[in-house]
Structure 1
Amino acid sequence: MRDVLDHLQRLGMSGYEAKAYVALVAAGGPVNGYEVAKRSGVPRSTVYETLGKLVARGAAYEQRGPAGATGYLPLPPEALLDRMRREFDGSAEALRTALPAVVAQPEGHPIHDLKDGEAMLARAEDVVAGARRDLFLSVWPEELRRLGPHVRAAAERDVEVSVVSFGDPGEDGAGRVHRHRYSAPEAVLDELGYRLIVVVADRREAVVGGFGDGTAWGIYTADPAVALMAAEYVRQDIALQVLAEAVGAEEIDRLFAADPGLLRILGRA
């Protein structure tokens, strides 16, 4: 019940309106304001005002009884949800045209901190959902479980998706998925001490951050230079995985060991 009320409020109903609507749906027939107040917990002093708002938005209807008493019936849930979806889609489409006309030109490319895991994954979902041409991800299965449905949706709308996964992505992967085997994920985690996440859309916006020891931190940026560097990081890491698969990890190790310059760049000298 709590989830139902929360979702109705997210779709625009007040707390009292959500409670009154649920009470009407659960009643199975017309009920008066007194019954709605008793069933829903909406105060009697405000229940008729609340029912009036539901009627005004088309979520409930008045029914006159034989003695002139007023009962209330809900708009059936499926019809209500269809109406809300139409209204939301219509508003979103109107805002798509109207909002850019009032947006001031930014003085610089936006960048902001992401102070916890929920904020970081929610912003990463935004980046994935906004991709139109290409999408690069360097991610661990723990975070890919959250992002997977959005990544699959991007692939389905013909975004070119490239993923490097530090572990088995299972069914959460989409597009071109490369397992990070060189170095092994366990070795990477031991060296860094946290799970790095990089998500880049169209090489114009990116989320970069880390998860470790019960904490998470990161940034969002729409600086195209930073987004390009993040995309190149993922592309180079994918290229290394493909090369290791083609010639073998031992051959890569031999080449590194024979070249002091490569060892120095890798921090192993």
Structure 2
Amino acid sequence: MDQLLHHLRHLGFTEMESKIMVELARQGSASGYEVAKRLGVSRSNVYSTLQRLEQRGFLRCSAGEPAKYSVLKPEEMTSMISGQMRTSLEYVQSSMPQHEPEKPVFYNIEGDKNVFENLSRELAEAKHEIVVDVWREEAELLRADLQGAEDRGVRLLWSCDGGEGIMDQPAPWPGLPSYGTGNGRKFSLVVDRRWCMLGMRGESCVTQAMVTEHPVMTGLLLNHFAQELVLYELEQDMGEELESRYGHRYQNLSARYWSVPSEGI
């Protein structure tokens, strides 16, 4: 009973309206006096509420003295409410004032729940393409959302490190050195080449992510992803030659650019 009253109030009925409708549904039909007696409330409150519900179309009133009220069948009531809500939602959508779009902003999200709820919402809205650069642990958490997107015809581009995944072997370019104290796994996603998330997650750090639609950041992540996979393809074709010239995993070459700066810089 409490749950039913709760949901009726959630649909916009007052507590008195909800109790009267449930009572009438239980009795079949009743006069205002009978309803007031059953609920233990004043007749004046009951009569005004009955008239209001009748005017809104949720009650029927029989002719005669005393007048008896009955509530619509559940399927009739829910159909009426659904139609009214749909009409209101369509009107709000078409009539709500709109302002000029704001300039792209950057914002931070913290915590596993917040990060993955934000991601799930965006992945569910993807229409054309999703670019994913993650570790195996995060790939497993996103698998259902990404599978759903792929089932809708969205193009998926994957890079997955850290064990078995959709792409088992890591990209050939060695990772950048770690700056600061975080030891988490970095991940990034770009949706429809307009929205992106870049973050870190792991047992030794709080899950954090930066989200933006700024074209500079989405462009940087897409370029980084493309360069890693191009290098991966090159290594597959020219692995021995590249290793003999630059060293295993290109350590000699990459050290020129990605060496950790000395203290004080």
| TM-score, with structure 2 as normaliser | 0.59
> CA 1:259–1:145 in 2, change beyond 3 Å: closer, same or farther?
closer
The 2-side partners of 1:248 and 1:217 are apart by 38
The 1-side partners of 2:98 and 2:91 are apart by 13
Conservation of the 8 A alpha-carbon contact between 2:17 and 2:49: no
- Partner residue of 1:210? 200
> CA 1:256–1:153 in 2, change beyond 3 Å: closer, same or farther?
same
Determine helix, strand or coil for the equivalent of 1:225: helix
> CA 1:71–1:222 in 2, change beyond 3 Å: closer, same or farther?
same
Determine helix, strand or coil for the equivalent of 1:178: coil
> CA 1:226–1:28 in 2, change beyond 3 Å: closer, same or farther?
farther
> CA 1:219–1:19 in 2, change beyond 3 Å: closer, same or farther?
farther
Aligned counterpart for 1:256 among listed residues 245, 248, 251:
248
Q: Alpha carbon RMSD of aligned pairs, Å?
A: 5.4
The 2-side partners of 1:140 and 1:35 are apart by 66
Aligned counterpart for 2:112 among listed residues 117, 134, 144:
117
Aligned length: 246
The 1-side partners of 2:222 and 2:29 are apart by 59
Conservation of the 8 A alpha-carbon contact between 2:108 and 2:209: yes
5+ residue gaps in structure 1? 39-43, 170-176
The 1-side partners of 2:15 and 2:224 are apart by 51
5+ residue gaps in structure 2? 261-265
Offset at 1:114? 0.9
Conservation of the 8 A alpha-carbon contact between 1:65 and 1:71: no
- Partner residue of 1:130? 125
Aligned counterpart for 1:158 among listed residues 147, 150, 153:
153
The 2-side partners of 1:199 and 1:210 are apart by 12
> CA 1:70–1:133 in 2, change beyond 3 Å: closer, same or farther?
same
- Percent identity of paired positions between Structure 1 and Structure 2: 18
Determine helix, strand or coil for the equivalent of 2:222: helix
Counterpart residue type for residue 68 of structure 1: A
The 1-side partners of 2:38 and 2:187 are apart by 49
> CA 1:204–1:257 in 2, change beyond 3 Å: closer, same or farther?
closer
Counterpart residue type for residue 228 of structure 1: G
Instruction: Kindly report which structure 2 residues correspond to 1:58-137, keeping only aligned pairs within 5 A, or say none.
Output: 61-62=59-60, 68-73=67-72, 75-76=74-75, 80=78, 84=82, 102-106=98-102, 108-137=103-132
Conservation of the 8 A alpha-carbon contact between 1:20 and 1:36: no
Conservation of the 8 A alpha-carbon contact between 1:181 and 1:241: no
